[in-house]
Amino acid sequence: MWKRIRSILFENLGLKIASLLLAFLLYAHVVTDQERESVVNVSISVVGLADTLTATGELPQRVQIKVRGKWKDLIRLDLTHPALSLDLAASEPGPFRTSITGEDVQRRALSADLARLVTVTEVLEPRSVDLVIEAKESRYVPLRARVIGQLPPGYRIDGAVRVEPDSVRIQGPTRALRELDTLYTVPVDITGERERIQRQVGLDLPPSLTAGDTRRCLVIFRIAKAEPESASGRH
């Protein structure tokens, strides 16, 4: 009996494996050749904006679309990571709003090859992008360290807290930049520290502003034991 089972399982093993593989490939071809609908995420970016302008507001990271096509083509589409670019070359200062249509995504986000094989049937969300185009400028702003935390009892910060560099060039919307008189570092926590601090930290930039050349700075200061209270005046 076992001899017969072994014969069934292992006789002409290579041919059986090849037949099984061929059957699997045929099944995969039939399945992936069927039409179906899928939801795909398309990333969004803005291009073409003049150097003297900047766009503020919440730009969505992606638009969600519904597409229809053969499964194998939908798999290819997902693997290509489609991206939609919004052209702001003709934009002027003021509110900017553009609708996102299936035709836009079909024409501008899909490759020419996939655009012939896959159809964008619906834009799910968002269906529009709202931004504000503003004039942009740059200027140097004083940089200060933001220090948080509690030193151990009997210790204090000895002298001034230095930041290198002490100012940075910031660029962004004119309105937001004119409201900024000082830029701070991300918090430097001194809890439990007893020695000299020399720490490289980032900048705490408002969302609409960017740093020109400086991304990080050096915060330097000393921590020393507090001097005992003066005994003068005691009898």
Assigned token pair, 78: 């997902």
Share of the chain above pLDDT 90, in %: 53
Residue-averaged pLDDT of the chain: 85
Distances (CA, A) of 204 to 145, 187, 215, 227, 234: 10, 8, 10, 34, 48
Domains of the chain: 34-126 (2.170.120), 138-225 (2.170.120.40)
Give one DSSP letter per residue of 130-163, joined into a string.
EEEEEEEEEEEEEEE--EES-PPTTEEEEEEEEE
Assigned token pair, 27: 């099944």
The radius of gyration of the chain from alpha carbons, rounded to an integer in Å, stands at 32
Q: 169 near 213, Cβ under 8 Å?
A: yes
Q: How far apart are CA 235 and CA 52, in angstroms?
A: 72
More confident residue, 51 or 147: 147
Instruction: Kindly indicate the confidence band of residue 150, based on its pLDDT and cuts at 50, 70 and 90.
Output: very high
Q: Per mean pLDDT, which range of 1-10, 30-39, 64-73, 163-172 is the poorest?
A: 1-10
Q: 136 near 173, Cβ under 8 Å?
A: yes
Element (H, E) at 84: strand 83-87
User: Tens digits of per-residue pLDDT, 47-81?
Assistant: 999 988 998 888 899 999 999 988 888 888 888 89
User: In this predicted structure, what is the pLDDT of residue 112?
Assistant: 86
Instruction: Kindly indicate the confidence band of residue 220, based on its pLDDT and cuts at 50, 70 and 90.
Output: very high
More confident residue, 26 or 140: 140
Q: Is the pLDDT of residue 100 over 60?
A: yes
User: In this predicted structure, what is the pLDDT of residue 97?
Assistant: 92
